[in-house]
Structure 1
Amino acid sequence: MKRIVVATDFSERSDRAIRRATLLARTFDAKVILIHVVDDDQPQHLIRSTEHATKSLLEEQVASLREIDGLDCEFRVAFGDPFEKITQLAREEEADLLVVGPHRRQILKDVFVGTTAERTIRTSDRPVLMTNAVPAGAYRRILIATDLSDCSGSALRSAVELDLVSKSEVSVLYVFDAPATGLMNRASLSEDQIQDYMHNEEQRASLDLLAFLVEHDLRSAPCILKPAMSSVEDVILSAARDISAEAIVIGSHGETGFAKTLLGSVAEKLLRIADRDILVVPPQRRE
């Protein structure tokens, strides 16, 4: 991890993203680039005054990060639609990681779809870290959630490429499906019969996960197997809490090109409810 781009709108949420990027930059000796997008759908005199104020604020932040934190730090200002320009700048800067603050959580309903955060994560061809938790130090424990798909493979490879595996204690979670459980309950089978079935399913899942880790050269990582007895995102978040993981890595299951759709439902729901940082990895990086 050599280049970290941080999107800021000068809010408290963005301060959280900058703080996490600072900690990562210290750990990996990486360069930090702060970016802010000025909405150009307004009168020119407002754009000019906003640009002037924006540059002044960014100059102060960059000076602080250089002098106090000892970082190699710069800033960029762009004009246009925030989510489009954020992803564009991250690509132009050849960022290894894009860091954003948590999305705004509504009082009555937690809306995520359609927010700048969701649209940025959906369209980014770079791994995007959403900083939900208040940064308190370097990551000590990270949970990689997988469903053994190609997209999960991308997430796992990204964790290795970003060097998170060597700098943190990494565990791999596989939430496996046990489709016959409900049918067995309705058939009034004995508890022993149900337990035997679950044991066999767990054994199968264990072998599948081991083959997946061997394929991606991460066979030494501790493994966690959980049946999908409730929503997958709840199982993932519960497992992260159990091991005190500060961050969760997950694939986006997004599509590329003109067929690009919303995030995969699990990634979307996890981003909506998570109380810790989420690193979302796209299926592939466009060249």
Structure 2
Amino acid sequence: MKPRPAVLCPVDFSDASRGALRYGRAIAQHFGTRLVILAVEDPLLTEAVDLGTGIVWNPEDTRHELEKFDRRVLHGNPLEGVDVEYHVAVGKPAKQILHVAQQEACDLIVMSTHGLTGMRKLFFGSTTERVLRETTIPVLATPPSEDGPADLEDASRKVGHILVPVDLTPASRHQIQVARGLSEALHVPLIATHVLEPVRSPLAKKLHLPSIEVERKARAQKALADLVATVPAPLHPEALVAYGDPAEEVAKIARDRRAGLIVVGLHGSPMLGPRMGSVTYRILCLAPALVLALPHEAAAVAPEVRADARGVVHK
């Protein structure tokens, strides 16, 4: 029997992970999935507790902390139609997050890009990067300043616009279709963008760059227009070709157009580099927005946890 769809939300008890948990809650409640809340303890910390107090560390202690944290974040409001599960692991955070995601057959990981430092070590940041490099399911990364929504309607107000930076490879079509479903579900406009990087080559001086750049832009505009044409007009899709550093331009567009959600691909390409690539991670660092990262292996946000063009949930 196939397990019920699940959203995994790793937390480190920081303010940043409060916002991530609220997003995880809103998604789980809207789609009626399980909500798996995970805490990963540092082995050195558990050993220090044992040595410093003479008391053997028990995972139930952390599980109890998780439950209290959850109640504070959710203000004690029960989640209707959502089964909440609390998991505790010991080890390297990224490895444990990916392990639990696979073990629990999770369809989405929701986590903050940054968290605590000090006794609990740096939970996010480098951890988020590794999760993004190795994940086979979509990851929704929330900025540390994001306090999270009360519900999906509140999330829609926070998002405002969905920005979809594409590299115009075959994977871009899937990226656009996922963003289209989200645009339908949240009732917000969609902006598709492609950033042309400057030509950097020792041969640049010998080339007739003005004519080359005109041709590059024309081709990009045509390809982007074809992609946007697959999005229904009522969603007010927009195509935007920019020029410059991809990550910086995407972050600038997100700020200028008040796009609260960026849908990016984690696939590699000749232009963007290896899987995930520096561009995707730099967008995470630079853009003040939610980032939904889609691995090439994922067929969608998850067949069981996605909305089609009519906003109908598939299960």
Query: 2:283: which partner in 1?
Result: 270
| Residue 58 to residue 105, structure 1, CA distance change in 2 (3 Å) | closer
> Counterparts in 2 of 1:147-158, with a 5 A limit?
147-158=167-178
**1:12 partnered with 2:37:** no
In structure 2, distance between residues paired with 1:85 and 1:231: 34
| Residue 208 to residue 24, structure 1, CA distance change in 2 (3 Å) | same
| Residue 141 to residue 114, structure 1, CA distance change in 2 (3 Å) | closer
Deviates more, 1:129-138 or 1:79-88: 129-138
The CA deviation at 1:273 is: 1.9
- Structure 2: gaps (5+ residues): 300-315
The CA deviation at 1:17 is: 0.9
Query: Of 147, 157, 161, which residue of structure 2 is paired with 1:141?
Result: 161
Query: 1:68: which partner in 2?
Result: 77
SS at match of 1:271: helix
Query: 2:309: which partner in 1?
Result: none
Query: 1:100: which partner in 2?
Result: 111
Amino acid at match of 1:224: A
The CA deviation at 1:118 is: 0.9
In structure 1, distance between residues paired with 2:292 and 2:140: 4
> Counterparts in 2 of 1:238-249, with a 5 A limit?
238-249=252-263
**1:120 partnered with 2:131:** yes
Q: Is the 8 A contact 2:191 2:240 kept in 1?
A: no
The CA deviation at 1:6 is: 0.4
Among all aligned residue pairs of Structure 1 and Structure 2, give the percentage whose two residues are the same amino acid: 26
Q: 1:20-76 CA distances to partner (integer Å, 9 max, x unpaired)? A: 222333444443211112234553964952523211112224456495153412211
| Residue 19 to residue 114, structure 1, CA distance change in 2 (3 Å) | closer
| Residue 25 to residue 179, structure 1, CA distance change in 2 (3 Å) | same
Query: 1:54: which partner in 2?
Result: 62
In structure 1, distance between residues paired with 2:253 and 2:128: 24
Query: 2:303: which partner in 1?
Result: none
SS at match of 1:246: strand
Q: Is the 8 A contact 1:8 1:14 kept in 2?
A: yes
The CA deviation at 1:117 is: 1.4
> Counterparts in 2 of 1:196-275, with a 5 A limit?
201-213=216-228, 217-218=230-231, 220=233, 222-228=237-243, 230-253=244-267, 263-275=276-288
SS at match of 2:20: helix
Q: 1:201-229 CA distances to partner (integer Å, 9 max, x unpaired)? A: 44322221233456xx436461332232x
Deviates more, 1:139-148 or 1:21-30: 21-30
Deviates more, 1:19-28 or 1:51-60: 19-28
Q: Is the 8 A contact 1:175 1:235 kept in 2?
A: yes
Q: 1:162-188 CA distances to partner (integer Å, 9 max, x unpaired)? A: x413123222112235649xx99x79x
Q: Is the 8 A contact 1:122 1:263 kept in 2?
A: yes
| Residue 69 to residue 149, structure 1, CA distance change in 2 (3 Å) | farther
In structure 2, distance between residues paired with 1:105 and 1:197: 48
| Residue 28 to residue 241, structure 1, CA distance change in 2 (3 Å) | farther
Q: Is the 8 A contact 2:140 2:290 kept in 1?
A: yes
TM-score by length of 2: 0.70
Q: 1:225-259 CA distances to partner (integer Å, 9 max, x unpaired)? A: 2232x21111111111222111111112359xxxx
Q: Is the 8 A contact 1:254 1:282 kept in 2?
A: no
Q: Is the 8 A contact 1:150 1:283 kept in 2?
A: no
TM-score by length of 1: 0.76
Corresponding pairs, count: 265
In structure 2, distance between residues paired with 1:131 and 1:37: 18
Query: 2:296: which partner in 1?
Result: 283
In structure 2, distance between residues paired with 1:89 and 1:112: 16
Query: 1:90: which partner in 2?
Result: 101
Query: 2:308: which partner in 1?
Result: none
- Structure 1: gaps (5+ residues): 256-260
Amino acid at match of 1:54: T
| Residue 98 to residue 83, structure 1, CA distance change in 2 (3 Å) | same
RMSD across aligned C-alpha pairs, in angstroms?
Answer: 3.8
| Residue 48 to residue 171, structure 1, CA distance change in 2 (3 Å) | farther
